């Protein structure tokens, strides 16, 4: 009788604690929605489509930040996806076993570096390097493209995109590698038995089979890039303008919150910043849900959870 | 024969490209570590660990308050995130095979994907606004929120790996489920759970964004936990974007110390995993 009572209480207590985590997340959404109400009421949908950000006149539009977040993340994916897939193919299919372990350890080290250290390196190593060699090169040979025109500052959209790509490579490559390893061996053997070369077997049997999982890995990387704050804030230049050139300074949703939140005077200003945070929350939520659904589709019931 | 040759060459080329991708990624890694170690070691000295930050123009000074502040923030966030995470994990593995469990699991995954700056805003509205002051408590709340999903899901996985027979044997002896879970299942899974906790700590040790408007930073020793407190990543950020050479040098020293702290935690966690796998789990 006593045991039964204790067990009941134990079950209740753990349930309450677990539900309190759910309650915290609900409270997060609710409190942010409340805080952003003044801005939502005042600007409505215009908030998403206007480019004026004027704290003095209290006119707020988030378009430049949305643009900056979308373009910097897209740029990051453009660089990170091919490289990560190359890494995953090499680690899962080609590398000799004595290279596999140390190499994947080293690449995962990239994920352990704090974002503020990436930013520090970005300011003092990457940005001067880009300004000194890469940007002049791009503007000399590809300068006819509008994305490679204008002044070189070092800091700007291109630098942010490159830093983001380095930060999401470990995420995308490690999940892709696990998805590749989940492809049954019979698939590869069948392709090889039909006379496929090594690469053809990888392309047809492994990449084809793993496509939804790789998509999931890419989208998970996107989720990380969208919300990344410090490193981007330190190298993107922080200017709320929409420019066609990748050399120009820009601004992202996360970095405007980081830079202006503590100095936001006035209710409307603060509420506009919280609204940007709320948008960021919902975008990353949708992105993560899609990604997880895709990864699960391939790996089925993978042992353990796939995480960054 | 011609097509065969072409296919062979294409195969070789693509494999070489994959190899190149893998080794190209090591370039930024080496560059980052090279910079942090070279510049960090060059500007680190005993003063860095014992002195407070000095005003601009006065050379020297250190980050003692930031190092201590980071440790305090980590300790405070562990204080609430570890119990909540472990008990949530127990719920998921022992009573979580139902709709409620799926909901909790889903929420944990959502929380894991929330950008840390958004969690900072949440901590701001929940603590800083009502208390009308930036504080160590609000920073620890934000960091704890980031730890919870990791601890919860690793605890669940580790508990699930404990063989069913162990539970059944205990229950058959008439031991309550509470005692079985706490004294037998949890104990068996402890090294794994510890690893999860250490990984969570390694992750929050370098977090900057959620501290910007919660812990806020402080150039002096903090007076109480309801006051702004310094943190190593925050101090690195402030010094990195400053125009002063002396401060920038200290930012590198700070980055070096931060990376050493994080790697130390990671290595300890690897060591714990190693111990776990060496000792047979059937005691």
Interface probe, candidates B10, B12, B21, B167, chain A, greatest A C-beta count within 10 A: B21
The reply to whether residue B7 touches residue A197, judged by beta carbons under 8 angstroms, is yes
For residue B66, what pLDDT band results from cuts at 50, 70 and 90? very high
The per-residue pLDDT of chain B, averaged, comes to 91
The 10s digit of each residue's pLDDT in A278-301 is 999 999 999 999 988 887 776 654
A 10 A CB-CB count for B131 gives 12
Tell me which of A149 and B156 has the higher pLDDT.
B156
Smallest Cβ–Cβ distance between A120 and the set B112, B207, B251 belongs to B251
Q: Does residue A170 have a pLDDT over 90?
A: yes
Chain centroid to CA B59: 33
Among chain A residues, the shortest Cα distance to B104 is held by A22
Q: Does residue A86 have a pLDDT over 60?
A: yes
Once rounded to an integer, what is the mean pLDDT over residues B152-181? 92
Question: B 198-237 residues with CB below 8 A of A?
Answer: 202, 205-209, 212-213, 216, 233, 236-237
Q: Is residue B25 part of a domain?
A: no
Q: Which residues of A touch B213 (CB under 8 A)?
A: 261-262
- Non-local (6+) Cβ contacts of B231 within 8 A are B66, B69, B70, B73, B139, B208, B211, B215, B217
Confidence at residue A308, expressed as pLDDT on a 0 to 100 scale: 36
Question: B 27-56 residues with CB below 8 A of A?
Answer: 28-29, 31-32, 35-36
Q: Is residue B9 part of a domain?
A: no
Q: Is residue B221 part of a domain?
A: yes
Confidence at residue A295, expressed as pLDDT on a 0 to 100 scale: 78
Token pair 């699991």: residue: B105
The 10s digit of each residue's pLDDT in A134-159 is 999 999 899 888 889 888 888 999 99
Once rounded to an integer, what is the mean pLDDT over residues A232-236? 96
Chain A nearest-CA distance from B30, in A, is 10
Q: Is residue B165 part of a domain?
A: yes
Angle in degrees, 0-180, between the axes of helices B64-95 and B99-113, rounded to the nearest 10: 160
Confidence at residue B60, expressed as pLDDT on a 0 to 100 scale: 78
Confidence at residue B184, expressed as pLDDT on a 0 to 100 scale: 92
User: CA Rg, chain A, in Å?
Assistant: 23
Once rounded to an integer, what is the mean pLDDT over residues A249-277? 93
Say yes or no: B119 contacts chain A, CB-CB below 8 A: yes
Once rounded to an integer, what is the mean pLDDT over residues A168-191? 92
Q: Which residues of A touch B36 (CB under 8 A)?
A: 117, 120-121
The reply to whether residue B240 touches residue A82, judged by beta carbons under 8 angstroms, is no
Domain membership of residue B199 as a residue range:
62-232
Q: How far apart are CA A213 and CA A21, in angstroms?
A: 29
Q: Does residue B204 have a pLDDT over 60?
A: yes
For residue B238, what pLDDT band results from cuts at 50, 70 and 90? very high
What CATH architecture is A2-299? Orthogonal Bundle (1.10)
Once rounded to an integer, what is the mean pLDDT over residues B175-202? 92
Q: What is the CATH number of the domain that holds B132?
A: 1.10.3720.10
Confidence at residue A166, expressed as pLDDT on a 0 to 100 scale: 97
Q: Is residue B217 part of a domain?
A: yes
Chain centroid to CA B7: 47
Smallest Cβ–Cβ distance between B258 and the set A87, A114, A199 belongs to A114
Confidence at residue B277, expressed as pLDDT on a 0 to 100 scale: 59
The reply to whether residue B216 touches residue A262, judged by beta carbons under 8 angstroms, is yes
Structurally, how many domains does chain B consist of? 1
Once rounded to an integer, what is the mean pLDDT over residues B217-226? 89
Q: Is residue B177 part of a domain?
A: yes
Tell me which of A99 and B1 has the higher pLDDT.
A99
The reply to whether residue B114 touches residue A281, judged by beta carbons under 8 angstroms, is yes
Please report the ipTM that was assigned to this predicted complex: 0.92
**DSSP-H helix ranges across chain B:** 2-24, 26-42, 46-50, 64-95, 99-113, 116-123, 129-131, 136-161, 164-172, 177-179, 186-205, 232-240, 245-278
Which of A282-291, B144-153, B258-267, B273-282 has the least mean pLDDT? B273-282
Confidence at residue B43, expressed as pLDDT on a 0 to 100 scale: 87
């Amino acid at each position: 009788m006593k045991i039964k009572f204790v067990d009941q209480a134990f079950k209740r207590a753990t349930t309450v604690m677990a539900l309190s985590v759910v309650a915290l997340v609900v409270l997060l959404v609710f409190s942010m929605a409340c805080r952003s109400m003044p801005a939502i009421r005042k600007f409505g949908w215009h908030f998403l489509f206007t480019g004026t950000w004027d704290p003095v006149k209290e006119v707020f539009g988030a378009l430049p930040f949305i643009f900056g977040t979308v373009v910097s993340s897209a740029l990051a994916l453009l660089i990170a996806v091919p490289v990560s897939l190359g890494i995953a193919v090499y680690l899962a299919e080609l590398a000799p076993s004595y290279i596999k372990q140390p190499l994947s350890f080293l690449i995962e080290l990239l994920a352990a570096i704090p974002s503020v250290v990436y930013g520090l390196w970005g300011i003092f190593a990457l940005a001067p390097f880009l300004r000194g060699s890469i940007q002049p090169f791009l503007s000399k040979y590809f300068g006819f493209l509008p994305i490679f025109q204008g002044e070189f500052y070092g800091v700007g959209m291109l630098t942010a995109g490159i830093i983001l790509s380095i930060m999401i490579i470990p995420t995308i490559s490690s999940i892709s590698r696990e998805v590749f390893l989940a492809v049954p061996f019979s698939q590869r053997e069948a392709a090889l038995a039909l006379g496929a070369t090594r690469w053809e077997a990888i392309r047809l049997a492994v990449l084809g089979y793993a496509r939804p999982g790789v998509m999931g890995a890419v989208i998970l990387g996107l989720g990380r890039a969208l919300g990344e704050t410090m490193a981007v804030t330190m190298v993107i230049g922080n200017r709320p303008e929409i420019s066609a050139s990748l050399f120009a300074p820009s601004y992202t949703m996360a970095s405007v919150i980081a830079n202006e939140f503590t100095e936001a005077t006035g209710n409307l200003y603060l509420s506009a910043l919280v609204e940007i945070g709320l948008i960021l929350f919902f975008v990353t939520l949708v992105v993560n849900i899609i990604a997880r659904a895709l990864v699960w589709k391939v790996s089925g019931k993978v042992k353990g959870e796939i995480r960054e | 024969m011609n097509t065969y040759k072409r296919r062979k060459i294409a195969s070789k080329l693509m494999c070489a490209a994959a190899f190149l991708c893998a080794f190209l990624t090591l370039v930024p890694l080496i560059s980052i570590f090279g910079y942090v170690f070279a510049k960090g070691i060059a500007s680190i000295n005993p003063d860095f660990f014992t002195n407070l930050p000095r005003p601009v123009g006065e050379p020297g000074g250190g980050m003692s308050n930031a190092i201590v502040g980071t440790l305090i923030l980590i300790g405070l966030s562990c204080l609430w995130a570890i119990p909540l995470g472990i008990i949530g994990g127990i719920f998921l593995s022992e009573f979580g095979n139902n709709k409620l469990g799926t909901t909790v699991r889903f929420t944990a995954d959502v929380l894991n994907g929330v950008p840390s700056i958004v969690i900072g805003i949440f901590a701001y509205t929940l603590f800083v606004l009502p208390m009308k002051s930036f504080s160590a408590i609000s920073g620890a709340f934000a960091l704890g929120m980031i730890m919870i999903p990791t601890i919860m899901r690793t605890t669940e996985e580790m508990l699930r790996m404990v063989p069913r027979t162990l539970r059944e044997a205990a229950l058959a002896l008439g031991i309550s489920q509470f005692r079985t879970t706490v004294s037998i299942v949890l104990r068996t899974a402890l090294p794994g759970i510890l690893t999860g906790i250490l990984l969570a700590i390694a992750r929050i040790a370098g977090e900057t964004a959620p501290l910007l408007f919660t812990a806020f930073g402080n150039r002096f020793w903090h007076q109480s936990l309801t006051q702004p407190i310094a943190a190593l990543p925050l101090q690195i950020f402030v010094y990195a974007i400053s125009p002063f050479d002396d401060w920038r040098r200290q930012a590198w020293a700070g980055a070096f110390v931060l990376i050493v702290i994080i790697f130390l935690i990671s290595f300890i966690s690897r060591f714990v995993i190693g111990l776990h796998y060496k000792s047979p789990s059937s005691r």
